């Protein structure tokens, strides 16, 4: 997918710096990082000004010099530099166990449940109140009454624990109290150094993983080498299991229905294919596919009030997405995207195309968006129904207010105390969060 081209920074220095300054601080042309826009603040306005210019006012038109993808790259670059300038001006909360943090609508304290984990990937509560935690290295851990059980559960599947691969999501069946099922998603080692996302279910008995069954395991020829973009989050609902499968670094596979990667899938909770899946019965498609064109989905959550399925996925450089996931839809990667390549070269200028879904929001610059969870507890009444969004690179916990399928407000609840990958509401109404550096589970509890 890499288009040959100049790094966006060189592009800026070549075509724009003369007038807008080497650090975008302004000169003949205006300051481009103060978030004041005369001709419109949205992406479309910036794109239009760069393409068409404001010739009378001295801003040349670049539509003939730069192609669409280069213009898109410049918009991403302006956003990155703008966010950097804004971050330098903004004080974000960095909660500690000793302090009370005042956020927009709730005051809270942060309590450390454990700081003795390696890289915690996913959190899930059992009906008896115990908390399951996966560590990416391949361990399923249990926290009982705020105490990390010393050893991991034994007998869980062997995982390909390299690069982004390893043990990923853990999910608890809604009827776990009667059927005992727990689901694990992991990178399954194949032959010759290959690996692919697989899902099993099993039960825990006296510290051991037992009764294991395959829920999703694809044939060996589809396994891929390379350590990136496995997914994988799971949602169990109404007898179905929805789960995400990253594109494994093979961008074009995301548009190929004969490949499992770059998709959201749906199966019955025992792994059978539902007859009414969108591509079931087609010979050229994986019958488990629910949606396609998904890059590397790292969050999946069901909105309790509406039954809507929400998903977050990593864009490349720019264009992290929050999507509403619907039967059979195409989410566009890599044909449309709001991002560019990591090295600053363009991918495409196309952000919209007929027949492809738009994200509900996109984060440009990327925050490296992780797990998401609707807050369902009673401890924080003003957070009820809000969607909490985690971020790895940006080290953020965000709160999104969602009204009728739209995000009407975003708040950075805190920032800068470690990469955040997982979030879940506890049975006590606290918000539980998995953090890195050191690997820990913390919870937010109300403060007077
Ligand atoms: C010859 C000088 C010149 C160059 C070169 C130039 N600009 Fe401009 N630019 C201007 C001026 C002057 C304005 C202000 C126009 C106005 O006041 O209406 C402007 C305005 C803009 C705006 C709109 C700002 C706002 O407040 O809405 C954007 C965005 C922009 N330029 C981006 C770029 C980019 C990206 C490049 C390089 C591809 C570039 N410019 C190159 C002179 C320049």
Write the pLDDT tens digit of every residue in 243-257.
999 999 999 999 999
DSSP 260: S
DSSP 383: G
Mutate which of 59, 65, 80 for ligand 1? The one with the most ligand atoms within 8 Å of its CB, which is 59
Q: Please tell me the predicted confidence (pLDDT) of residue 448.
A: 76
* Mean pLDDT score across all residues of the chain: 96
> Which residues 6+ apart lie within 8 Å of 48 measured at CB?
39, 40
N residues, the chain: 448
Closest CA to 187 of 118, 248, 265, 120: 248
| Residue pointed to by tokens 């105390």 | 417
pLDDT > 70 fraction of the chain, expressed in percent and rounded:
99
Q: Inform me whether the pLDDT recorded for 3 exceeds 60.
A: no
Contacts 24+ apart (CB under 8 A), 19-27: 19/58, 19/59, 24/78, 24/81
Domains and CATH numbers, the chain: 8-89 (1.10.760.10), 100-315+366-446 (2.120.10.30)
Q: What are phi and psi of 274, to 5 degrees?
A: -65, 135
pTM confidence score:
0.94
The CA distance from 274 to 264, in Å, is 14
The CA distance from 149 to 135, in Å, is 13
Q: Please tell me the predicted confidence (pLDDT) of residue 1.
A: 31
Instruction: List pLDDT tens digits, range 63-102.
Output: 999 999 999 999 999 999 999 999 888 999 999 999 999 9
The CA distance from 393 to 390, in Å, is 10
The CA distance from 113 to 261, in Å, is 35
Closest protein CA for atom 43 of ligand 1: 59
SS3 letters for 320-375?
Answer: EEEEECCCCCECCCCCCCCCECCCCCCCCCCCCCCCCCCCCEEECCCCCEEEEEEC
Query: Would you say the CB of residue 19 lies under 6 angstroms from ligand 1?
Result: yes
Query: Would you say the CB of residue 17 lies under 6 angstroms from ligand 1?
Result: no
Closest CA to 67 of 265, 264, 349, 357: 349
Position 441 confidence tier, pLDDT thresholds 50, 70, 90: very high
Instruction: List pLDDT tens digits, range 308-339.
Output: 999 999 999 999 999 999 999 999 999 999 99
Closest CA to 123 of 435, 418, 438, 445: 435
Q: Inform me whether the pLDDT recorded for 181 exceeds 80.
A: yes
Q: Inform me whether the pLDDT recorded for 38 exceeds 90.
A: yes
> How many other CB atoms sit within 10 Å of the CB of residue 40?
12
Mutate which of 20, 37, 73 for ligand 1? The one with the most ligand atoms within 8 Å of its CB, which is 20
Closest protein CA for atom 8 of ligand 1: 59
Q: Inform me whether the pLDDT recorded for 2 exceeds 60.
A: no
Distance 175 CA to ligand 1 centre (A): 59
Query: Would you say the CB of residue 37 lies under 6 angstroms from ligand 1?
Result: yes
Closest protein CA for atom 16 of ligand 1: 57
Active site residues: 229
Query: Would you say the CB of residue 81 lies under 6 angstroms from ligand 1?
Result: no
């Amino acid at each position: 997918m890499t288009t040959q081209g100049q790094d966006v920074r060189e592009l800026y220095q070549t075509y724009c710096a003369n007038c807008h300054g080497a650090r975008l601080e302004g000169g003949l042309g205006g300051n481009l990082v103060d978030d004041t826009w005369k001709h419109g603040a949205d992406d479309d306005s910036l794109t239009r000004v760069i393409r068409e210019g404001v010739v009378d006012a001295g801003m040349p038109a670049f539509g003939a010099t730069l192609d669409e993808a280069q213009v898109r790259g410049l918009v991403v670059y302006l956003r990155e530099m703008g966010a950097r300038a804004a971050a330098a001006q903004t004080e974000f909360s960095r909660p500690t166990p000793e302090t009370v943090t005042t956020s927009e609508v709730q005051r809270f304290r942060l309590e450390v449940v454990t700081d003795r984990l390696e890289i915690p990937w996913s959190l899930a509560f059992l009906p008896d109140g115990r908390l399951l935690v996966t560590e990416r290295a391949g361990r399923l851990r249990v926290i009982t009454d705020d105490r990390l059980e010393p050893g991991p559960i034994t007998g869980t599947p062997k995982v390909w624990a390299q690069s982004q691969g390893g043990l990923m999501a853990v999910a608890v069946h809604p009827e776990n109290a009667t059927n005992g099922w727990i689901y694990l998603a992991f990178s399954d080692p194949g032959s010759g150094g290959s690996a692919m996302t697989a899902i099993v279910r099993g039960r825990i008995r006296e510290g051991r993983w037992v009764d294991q069954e395959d829920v999703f395991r694809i044939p060996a020829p589809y396994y891929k080498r390379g350590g990136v973009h496995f997914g994988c989050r799971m949602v169990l609902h109404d007898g179905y299991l929805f789960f995400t499968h990253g594109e494994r670094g093979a961008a074009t596979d995301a548009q190929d229905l004969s490949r499992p990667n770059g998709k959201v899938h749906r199966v019955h909770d025992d792994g059978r294919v539902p007859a009414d899946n969108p591509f079931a019965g087609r010979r050229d498609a994986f019958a488990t596919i629910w949606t396609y064109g998904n890059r590397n989905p790292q969050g999946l959550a069901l909105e309790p009030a509406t039954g809507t399925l929400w998903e977050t996925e990593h864009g490349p450089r720019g264009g992290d997405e929050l999507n509403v996931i619907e039967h059979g839809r195409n989410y566009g990667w890599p044909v449309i995207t709001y991002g560019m390549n990591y090295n600053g070269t363009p991918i495409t200028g196309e952000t919209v195309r007929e027949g492809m879904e738009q994200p509900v929001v996109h984060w440009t610059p990327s925050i490296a968006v992780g797990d998401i969870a609707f807050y369902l507890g009673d401890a924080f009444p003003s957070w009820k129904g809000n969607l909490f969004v985690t971020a790895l690179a940006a080290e953020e916990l965000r709160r999104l207010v969602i009204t009728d399928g739209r995000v009407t407000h975003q708040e950075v609840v805190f920032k800068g105390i470690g990469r955040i990958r997982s979030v879940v509401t506890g049975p006590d109404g606290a918000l539980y969060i998995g953090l890195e550096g050191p690997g820990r589970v913390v919870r937010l509890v109300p403060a007077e």
